[in-house]
């Protein structure tokens, strides 16, 4: 009896050690990754090779849409191209990060109209739209902002700045009438995702 109890205790202790140690290691790795990535909100400095890996040659329009799209700079050029003058990128801190004299892009609204949000009647309008980058930086828009507000006429996917292809990827999402334009300026753009509010 005594030996049996001893074995049971040993087995419990052993399984406890087995279950916990790998898990702990994993958690530690994840949390270190997180700190180094965000670095107190500062941008990590990437090598030229690493930032090249972030570049996408096409953006995916997906989610609750009838016609998922894959858009390249060339396909944007075939849509209604708009010229935007004097666009400044201002960080939330107030710092001016970029000052474009002239840029070219397509309205996000036109892209979403092409992909056609899957709506069930006119009251079905609680959707949010995520512009996501390769580094998982993201900005969010709402259906009402894009389709029932002046913001919709000021939200673009850019492909050209000052007569040259954009830097940091091939396409950038911007919202010209934000107070601070930095937060919804998404470079290394990878996808435009449409989701219904559950
Ligand atoms: N993909 C991606 N887009 C991004 C960011 C980012 O980290 N990744 N930073 C944002 C912030 S905080 C600002 S102010 C502007 C300008 O950032 P920059 O200083 O890196 O040019 O881009 C925004 N877009
Ligand atoms: Mo910023």
Residue nearest to atom 16 of ligand 1 (CA): 182
Is residue 28 pLDDT above 50, yes or no? no
Tell me, using a 6 A CB cutoff, whether residue 195 lines ligand 1.
Answer: no
Distances in Å between the Cα of 95 and the Cα atoms of 1, 150, 171, 175, 183 are 74, 25, 22, 17, 12
User: Quick one: pLDDT at residue 4?
Assistant: 58
> Counting atoms of ligand 1 from 1, which one is nearest the CA of 95?
14
Is residue 118 pLDDT above 80, yes or no? yes
Looking at residues 126-147, what average pLDDT do you find? Answer: 98
Q: Which residue of 38, 42, 43, 136 sits with most ligand 1 atoms within 8 Å of its CB, as the best mutation to test the pocket?
A: 43
Tokens for 68, please give them: 């998922």
Is residue 161 pLDDT above 80, yes or no? yes
DSSP states of 25-51: HHHHHHHHHHHHHHGGGPPPPPPHHHH
On whether the CB atoms of residues 153 and 138 are closer than 8 A, the answer is no
On whether the CB atoms of residues 116 and 63 are closer than 8 A, the answer is no
**Side-chain half-sphere CA neighbours of 192 within 13 A:** 33
Sequence-separated (6 or more) residues with CB below 8 Å from residue 125: 119, 143, 144, 147
Tokens for 127, please give them: 């959707």
Distance 86 CA to ligand 2 centre (A): 19
Predicted confidence band at 2 (pLDDT cuts at 50, 70, 90)? Answer: low
Residue nearest to atom 24 of ligand 1 (CA): 186
C-alpha–C-alpha distance, residues 50 and 87, integer Å: 27
Looking at residues 101-122, what average pLDDT do you find? Answer: 98
C-alpha–C-alpha distance, residues 170 and 167, integer Å: 7
Tokens for 94, please give them: 């107030």
Distance 92 CA to ligand 2 centre (A): 5
Looking at residues 47-73, what average pLDDT do you find? Answer: 96
Predicted confidence band at 35 (pLDDT cuts at 50, 70, 90)? Answer: very low
State the DSSP H helix or E strand holding residue 145, giving kind and residue range, or none if neither.
helix 143-147
Distance 10 CA to ligand 2 centre (A): 54
Distances in Å between the Cα of 37 and the Cα atoms of 42, 56, 138, 149 are 9, 20, 15, 35
Tokens for 142, please give them: 């709402």
């Amino acid at each position: 009896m005594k030996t049996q109890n001893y074995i049971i205790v040993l087995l419990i202790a052993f399984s406890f050690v087995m279950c916990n140690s790998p898990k702990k290691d994993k958690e530690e790795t994840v949390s270190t990754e997180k700190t180094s990535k965000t670095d107190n909100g500062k941008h990590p400095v990437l090598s030229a090779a690493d930032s090249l890996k972030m570049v996408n040659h096409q953006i995916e329009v997906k989610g609750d849409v009838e016609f998922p799209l894959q858009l390249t700079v060339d396909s944007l050029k075939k849509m209604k191209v708009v010229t935007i003058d004097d666009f400044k990128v201002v960080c939330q801190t107030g710092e001016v990060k970029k000052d474009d004299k002239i840029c070219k892009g397509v309205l996000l609204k036109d892209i979403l109209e092409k992909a056609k949000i899957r709506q069930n009647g006119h009251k079905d309008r609680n959707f949010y739209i995520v512009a996501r980058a390769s580094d998982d930086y993201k900005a969010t828009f709402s259906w009402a902002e894009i389709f029932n507000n002046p913001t919709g006429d000021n939200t673009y996917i850019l492909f050209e700045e000052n007569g040259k292809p954009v830097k940091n990827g091939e396409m950038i999402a911007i919202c010209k009438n934000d107070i601070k334009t930095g937060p919804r300026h998404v470079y290394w753009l990878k996808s435009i995702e449409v989701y219904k509010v559950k």
